[in-house]
Structure 1
Amino acid sequence: MGELYALDFDGVLCDSCGESSLSAVKAAKVRWPSLFEQVDSALEDWIVEQMYIVRPVVETGYENLLLVRLLLEMKIPAIRKSSAAEGLTVEGILDNWSKIKPVIMEAWNENRDDLINLFGEVRDKWLETDLNSWIGANRFYPGVPEALKFASSKLYIVTTKQSRFASALLREIAGVNFPPERMYGLGTGPKVEVLKQLQRKPENQGLKMHFVEDRLATLKNVIKEPELDGWNLYLGDWGYNTGKERAEAASIPRIHILELSDFSKKMK
């Protein structure tokens, strides 16, 4: 029996937190210029540092913009436009992001599609004007480029990142020209629906199916779908998740905790 691997991108293949955080700061300055008038480089550096801590809550890239502004409102009370920032800590963001996000979206009168478009435009501009520094803000996890190049399994990428950015990183850093027809990026639907599509494809019939993800919430969504009972589920412990999430995952029989070295071996 052959093997099929559906792979998340950010937090499984690529550590993109540096780039996504810097892009979010650039985009936030465009979206809310008046809020950033009193932000110096030291405060920007602090925001980017905190973004590494809160990164596990991000499902789709535009949320990075919300987090940048929320961290800024936490630091500078005078500019607060949402009560959600009052008394909030990074631990509070990690524990309650799903409740905080709709509150701040409404308080700031923000639109998801507008933020997605802005985030993509800012990344495009950075990529076009300074490709080297954009590439340099990302890195693939050790062993991953080689594993992708020499994998004997059938590979798909299932990500909430816009496909053009994932493809550029694979090409420029990993040296991998990934087939576009096997890349399911932002706009192709929820991951559970993509997994259903993959298992229905005639050419995938009879393959043993594996899904590698770094977000516990996504794996729990898969478990809720009886149609996806045939998938082997893995939480990458090197990705954007917390010790608390890894402990919870270890208590769920369907989910295997995967280490990076084992992941690279499986792929090869």
Structure 2
Amino acid sequence: MGGNLYALDFDGVLCDSCGESSRSALKAAKIRWPWLFGQVDSAMETWIIDQMHILRPVVETGYENLLLVRLLVELQVPSVRKSSVADGLTVEAILENWSQLKPIIMKEWDEERDALIDLFGRVRDEWIDNDLSGWIGSNRFYPGVADALRFASSQLYIVTTKQARFADALLRELAGVSLPAERIYGLGTGPKVEVLKQLQEMPEHQGLSLHFVEDRLATLKNVIKEPTLAGWDLYLGRWGYNTEKERAEAESIPRIQLLDLSDFSKKLK
């Protein structure tokens, strides 16, 4: 026995998808709230995309990008404000307080998570159908990652809140990697802690060293809370969607190892 199993987050660990997710969210927001964009010109759209790169660390699931786009418009255009939190709000404050802001705006805008997830997925599907090369080109794998995946000697699983069909398409088109469908745990397969429990219980994984690489500190902290997951080595990717403050906090947590991109690629190989 022996060997290694790596459970890998997708966005922020393997792939920088911020350009694509921000543009898809803008397209979807225009469909969901067309009245909101009457006063949004191309310059403001560019500003929104720029701010979305700053705010990306707060996004756990893709649909949240739509909420962020709308909130950014409300910051800039007081006449369209429907939320109590927008007045005086800054991008920095959103970054610090997103977990408190999100339920407030969902309620005040009368939005439902599943409907936003469906819309976000539909917009991406239409972009892929109409302009595959444009959609693919809005994503990029981090340097060295594609080769590391292709030549990995470890057992690899993708554990992501991205819809599996999009992760699979990007693995194939950008990285030249074809993983069996049962190795990609995407949106709808349950919380990541539950997926890790499933993976460690599989008979074929007994005796393997277990590693989980993530770029969200909150997710790693959730794993630490689960006593049954004590056997996993946990890594926070420095290159991913996290902040300097989160990286500093991670350094104070014994279970978490901070990982540089070059070391990550070496580990997979």
Match of 1:71 in 2: 72
* Structure 2 partner of 1:201: 202
SS in 2 for 1:124: helix
In 1, distance between residues paired with 2:87 and 2:257?
38
TM (norm. structure 2) is 0.99
Which residue of 1 is the match for residue 254 of structure 2? Answer: 253
Which residue in 2 is equivalent to 1:161? 162
Alignment pair present for 1:143 and 2:144: yes
Query: For 1:24-45, what per-residue CA distance to the aligned partner results, in whole angstroms no more than 9, with x for missing partners?
Result: 0000000000001111111000
Partner of 2:112: 111
Share of identical aligned residues, percent? Answer: 75
Residue 94 of structure 1 deviates from its aligned partner by: 1.1
TM-score (norm 1): 0.99
Residue 39 of structure 2 corresponds to residue 20 of structure 1: no
- Shift, 1:90, TM fit: 1.2
One-letter code of the match for 2:162?
Answer: K
Q: How does 1:1-268 map to 2 (within 5 A)?
A: 1-268=2-269
Equivalent AA in structure 2 for residue 106 of structure 1: K
Runs of 4+ in 1 over 3 A off after TM superposition: none
Q: Give distance in 2, aligned partners of 1:242 and 1:85.
A: 23
Post-superposition shift, 1:150? Answer: 0.3
**Deviation at residue 226 of structure 1 after TM alignment:** 0.1
Cα shift readout 1:170-203 (whole Å, capped 9, x = no counterpart): 1111111111111000000000000000000000
Q: CA deviation at 1:64?
A: 0.2
Question: Which has the higher mean CA deviation after the structures are superposed, 31-40 or 114-123?
Answer: 31-40
Deviation at 1:83, TM superposition (A): 1.2
> What secondary structure is seen at the aligned counterpart in 2 of 1:232?
strand
Distance 1:251 1:84 in 2: 33
- Post-superposition Cα deviations, 1:75-114, rounded to whole Å, max 9, x if no partner, equal 1111100011111111111111000000000000000000
Quick one: which amino acid aligns to residue 89 of structure 1?
T
- Deviation readout 1:113-141 (Å, 9 max, x if unpaired): 00000000000000000001100100000
**Residue 49 of structure 1: CA displacement?**
0.2
Q: Extract unaligned runs of 5+ from structure 1.
A: none
Looking at structure 1, the residues matched to 92 and 193 of structure 2 have their Cα atoms a distance apart, in angstroms, of 28
Give distance in 1, aligned partners of 2:246 and 2:79: 34
Aligned residue identity for 1:138: N
Over the residues paired in the alignment, what is the CA RMSD in angstroms?
0.5
